[in-house]
């Protein structure tokens, strides 16, 4: 294999893989000759067909098979070499990961298993599989992918590993040959591409119409339709089926996650990043640590904001990358955070944004598993100096003293056996007292005249009006007359000259009314002069 080649993508349909493009050399192992080595002895040690030593002599252009020079290189095609099975180890499994072995039905995959050639792996949503190959290469099969293990072999001595994997759909991330062992081969084959890798980190995505490669370290040679481009670290390229590869383009830079919170205390998890020029999509994953060998959640969106569902409380790492117009994923950004959202905060029920009573009831819905609640009431939104802060087993709280008019803030949190959870989002309300009861003692004396009753109250405060009821009982059951007044003056008619009760209250423009005030209006006594007229004849 060419010395400069870190990774190579060969494009073409799977059936054509046996005949790669002419410009691509067949993979070889370069053996350094030692004193005493002979072609016959090396063939018996390494070749699948030991009698093929003359073929090995011709391949290396050796004129004298008995005059091998120690320290020189002997090129041995991998296809000629003897090999043994080299199963892949299942390092980690997350979510709905399944495997199908030859001749057996599909079943759940377990970490710790060893898989040989012929196994097919499938990952569901929010799932992943991490494999370690015999040369130490790590492959993380991403959510929603399908991959078959086609060839898993090790050559004599264990120093060379040949692995060929068929990625049928989805994405795989590869950290290949971390110890840089010489002569090994790792191929990730898609319906339109083959990634032959040595000593590099890269991603491959398989779709029905194209393959995508993004190089993070090393170099990838991308070939299709007998054309080849070199994709350096920090670049990506798209190879559509039957078409030459596109010229490499720079991957989008890592998004800026510096403003994301280190503590998240509410679900669902919501992360919002600054925009990025050229970004057409956003891809986020959450894992227990920065290695991302187990992917717990994955989300994709078209805006720089990502939302994830439920997770247990704990420490996690968020990985975000942006996608460009070609569908190439950019550089990764990592953000560590702690989730502390349990016990869940209660759902606030009331009061609303405006209260009219001096001791409003703060109410919330009960939380399953909560033993008590912590409720706080303050004048400032930061709760620096709470007016009230106490624990209660009830799902409501009423201040023990009357509030002064003004703006208030309150919040509530659940408490379970493990302690207090996060507060629910703070609530704000304004205490706007109801209009007070009018002082009927300031009213001018009512006057019965001309079959009616004239009333004169002090003018109501600005924005208010009077509601008045005249009845023959204090409970306003037997109403004689009722009306409204914006200036306090009115005349009730017809009204008999008798005892009545006047009820009055102040009402706001929206109809909100204050308490009633009631006053007895006594009818004046009848004049005494008609009785005196009856006594006049007695004096005549």
Over residues 230-254, the mean pLDDT reads 93
Q: What is the model's pLDDT at position 529?
A: 56
Q: What is the model's pLDDT at position 16?
A: 32
Span 85-99, pLDDT tens digits: 999 999 999 999 999
Over residues 273-296, the mean pLDDT reads 96
In this chain, the answer to whether the domains covering 84-93+100-250 and 442-521 adopt an identical fold is no
Span 506-538, pLDDT tens digits: 999 989 999 999 989 888 877 665 555 555 555
DSSP annotation of 136 reads S
Q: Give the C-alpha separation, 42 to 47, whole Å.
A: 8
101 C-beta neighbours (distance < 10 Å), count: 15
Dihedrals phi, psi of 178, to nearest 5 degrees: -60, -25
For residue 529, the surrounding DSSP H or E stretch is helix 529-535
DSSP annotation of 199 reads S
CATH 2.60.40.10 is held by the domain 442-521: yes
Q: What is the model's pLDDT at position 183?
A: 63
The answer to whether the beta carbons of residues 120 and 146 sit under 8 Å apart is yes
> How sure is the predictor about 145, in pLDDT bands with cuts at 50, 70 and 90?
very high
Q: Give the C-alpha separation, 519 to 500, whole Å.
A: 9
Over residues 284-301, the mean pLDDT reads 95
Over residues 328-345, the mean pLDDT reads 95
Span 403-423, pLDDT tens digits: 999 999 999 999 999 899 999
The answer to whether residue 28 scores a pLDDT higher than 90 is: no
Q: Give the C-alpha separation, 76 to 73, whole Å.
A: 10
84-93+100-250 to CATH, choices 3.20.20.10, 3.30.300.90, 3.10.129.10, 2.60.120.1440: 2.60.120.1440
Backbone angle region of 130, left / alpha / beta, with phi > 0 → left and psi within -120 to 50 → alpha:
beta
Q: Which residue has the higher pLDDT, 159 or 176?
A: 176
Q: How many CA atoms lie within 13 A of 384 on its CB side?
A: 3
The CATH class given to the 263-339 domain equals mainly beta
Which residues are registered as beta bridge partners of 240? 210
- For the chain, how long is the longest CA-to-CA vector? 179
Backbone angle region of 225, left / alpha / beta, with phi > 0 → left and psi within -120 to 50 → alpha:
left
Q: Report the range of poorest mean pLDDT among 56-65, 185-194, 263-272.
A: 185-194
Q: Give the C-alpha separation, 146 to 439, whole Å.
A: 83
Residue from 430, 411, 428, 427 nearest 358 by CA: 430
Q: What is the model's pLDDT at position 507?
A: 94
Boundaries of every domain in the chain: 84-93+100-250, 263-339, 348-431, 442-521
The answer to whether the beta carbons of residues 187 and 12 sit under 8 Å apart is no
Residue from 405, 404, 517 nearest 460 by CA: 517
Residue from 369, 376, 410, 368 nearest 392 by CA: 376
Q: What is the model's pLDDT at position 148?
A: 97
The answer to whether residue 195 scores a pLDDT higher than 80 is: no
Q: Give the C-alpha separation, 141 to 205, whole Å.
A: 10
- What does the mean pLDDT of the chain come to? 88
Over residues 481-506, the mean pLDDT reads 88
Determine what percent of the chain is predicted with pLDDT higher than 70: 90
Q: What is the model's pLDDT at position 449?
A: 83
Which residues are registered as beta bridge partners of 482? 469
For residue 56, the surrounding DSSP H or E stretch is helix 53-60
**What strand order describes the sheet that includes 348-350?**
348-350, 362-364, 396-397
Please state the separation of Cα 63 from the chain's center in Å: 67
Span 369-394, pLDDT tens digits: 899 999 999 999 999 999 999 999 99
Span 307-334, pLDDT tens digits: 998 899 999 999 999 999 999 999 999 9
For residue 45, the surrounding DSSP H or E stretch is helix 39-46
Q: Which residue has the higher pLDDT, 451 or 60?
A: 60
> How sure is the predictor about 281, in pLDDT bands with cuts at 50, 70 and 90?
very high
For residue 530, the surrounding DSSP H or E stretch is helix 529-535
Q: Give the C-alpha separation, 139 to 129, whole Å.
A: 8
Q: What is the model's pLDDT at position 229?
A: 83
CATH superfamily ID and name for 348-431:
Immunoglobulins (2.60.40.10)
């Amino acid at each position: 294999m060419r010395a400069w080649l870190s990774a190579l993508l060969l494009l073409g349909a799977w059936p054509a893989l046996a005949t790669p493009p002419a410009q691509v050399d067949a993979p070889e192992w370069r053996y350094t000759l030692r004193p005493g080595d002979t072609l016959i002895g090396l063939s018996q040690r390494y070749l699948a067909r030991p009698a093929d030593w003359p073929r090995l002599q011709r391949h290396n252009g050796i004129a004298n098979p008995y005059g091998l020079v120690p320290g020189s290189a002997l090129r041995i095609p991998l296809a000629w070499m003897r090999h043994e099975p080299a199963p892949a180890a299942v390092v980690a499994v997350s979510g709905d990961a399944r495997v199908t072995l030859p001749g057996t039905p599909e079943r759940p995959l377990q970490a710790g298993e060893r898989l040989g050639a012929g196994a097919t792996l499938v990952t569901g949503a929010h799932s992943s599989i991490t494999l370690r190959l015999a040369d130490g290469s790590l492959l993380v099969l991403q959510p929603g992918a399908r991959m078959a293990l086609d060839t898993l072999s090790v050559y004599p001595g264990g120093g060379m590993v040949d692995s060929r994997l068929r990625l049928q759909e989805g994405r795989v991330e590869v950290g290949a040959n971390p110890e840089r062992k010489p002569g090994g081969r790792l191929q990730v084959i898609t319906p339109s591409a083959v990634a032959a890798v040595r000593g590099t980190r890269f991603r491959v995505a398989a779709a029905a119409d194209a393959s995508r490669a993004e190089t993070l370290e090393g170099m990838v040679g991308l070939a299709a339709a007998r054309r080849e481009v070199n994709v350096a670290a920090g670049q990506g390229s798209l190879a559509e089926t039957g078409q030459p590869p596109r010229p490499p383009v720079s991957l989008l830079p890592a998004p800026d996650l510096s403003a994301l919170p280190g503590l998240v205390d509410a679900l669902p998890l919501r992360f919002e990043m600054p925009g990025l020029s050229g970004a057409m999509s956003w891809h986020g994953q959450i894992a227990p640590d920065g290695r991302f060998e187990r992917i717990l959640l994955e989300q994709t969106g078209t805006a720089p904001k990502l939302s994830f569902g439920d997770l247990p409380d704990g420490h996690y790492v968020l990985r975000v990358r942006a996608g460009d117009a070609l569908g190439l994923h950019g550089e990764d950004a990592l953000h560590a955070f702690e989730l502390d959202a349990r016990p869940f905060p209660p759902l606030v029920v009331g009061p609303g944004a405006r209260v009219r009573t001096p001791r409003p009831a703060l109410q919330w819905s009960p939380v399953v598993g909560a033993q008590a609640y912590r409720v706080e009431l303050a004048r400032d939104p930061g709760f620096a100096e709470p007016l009230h802060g106490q624990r209660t087993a009830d799902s409501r709280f009423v201040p023990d003293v009357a509030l002064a008019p003004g703006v208030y803030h309150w919040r509530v949190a659940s408490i379970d056996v493990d302690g207090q959870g996060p507060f629910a989002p703070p609530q704000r309300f304004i205490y706007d007292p109801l209009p007070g009861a009018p002082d009927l003692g300031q009213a001018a004396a009512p006057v019965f005249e001309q079959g009616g009753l004239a009333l004169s109250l002090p003018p109501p405060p600005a924005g208010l009006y009077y509601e008045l009821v005249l009845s023959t009982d204090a409970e306003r059951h037997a109403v004689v007359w009722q009306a409204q007044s914006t200036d306090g003056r009115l005349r009730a008619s017809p009204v008999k000259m008798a005892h009545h009760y006047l009820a009055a209250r102040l009402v706001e423009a929206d109809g909100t009314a204050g308490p009633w005030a009631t006053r007895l209006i006594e009818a004046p006594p009848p004049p005494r002069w008609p009785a005196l007229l009856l006594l006049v004849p007695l004096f005549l």
